[in-house]
Amino acid sequence: MQLFILRHGKAEPMATNDAARALTERGRRQVAQVCKKRVQELSSVGAIWASPFVRTQQTADIVSAHLGLPVITEPLLIGDSDPQQLLDLLQEQGPDNFPILLVSHQPLVGSLLNGLCGSGNQHSMGTSSLACVQSEVWANSCAELKWLQHAE
């Protein structure tokens, strides 16, 4: 099974409410570029899950426009969630539900990617970074990193 992990695009500077921060124009362009570069791989995605924050919803909407899929808001995808709770939720999904694209924040995207691959902090997830991992079970050190695409 494949899982795609996408960090939201570049967002506005910190405001009074972090959840309300929107993507910058550069962030929108970078997300679109990453999607365009990986359009063939992303074409297999069956579901898009995104954090409820504005910038992740906007990022997911860009991907949604490319793939023609609805965005499912998943509260466990906020940045400070426990990665194990997300792994438990993924493990509950049947194989027919994959590939799933997760759109989230740091530190969750980095913890999730590196935890799944057992790679410490080897793989960085900058804004608009997109990773593809493959596994039979969603547990720490059980996945293989297929590729990692960074924004230009």
The set of residues, in sequence order, having a beta carbon less than 8 Å from that of 29 and lying 6+ positions away, is none
pLDDT, tens digit, for every residue of 83-116? 999 999 999 999 999 999 999 999 999 999 999 9
∠ CA 74-22-63, nearest 5°, is 55
Hey, how many other C-beta atoms are within 10 angstroms of the C-beta on 92? Answer: 9
What are the DSSP calls for 75-117, one per residue?
A: GGGSTTS-HHHHHHHHHHS-GGG-SEEEEE-TTHHHHHHHHHH
Q: What are the φ/ψ torsions at residue 24 (nearest 5 degrees)?
A: -85, 170
Closest CA to 18 of 51, 49, 54: 54
| Contact in structure between 66 and 42 (CB atoms under 8 Å) | yes
Is the pLDDT score of 15 beyond 80?
A: no
pTM of the model: 0.97
Q: Can you name the residues that pair with 18 across neighbouring β-strands?
A: none
Give the model confidence (pLDDT) of 42-85 as tens digits. 999 999 999 999 999 999 999 999 999 999 999 999 988 999 99
Residue 124's DSSP bridge partners are: none
Task: Domain 2-149: state its class.
Answer: alpha beta
Amino acid at position 32, single letter: A
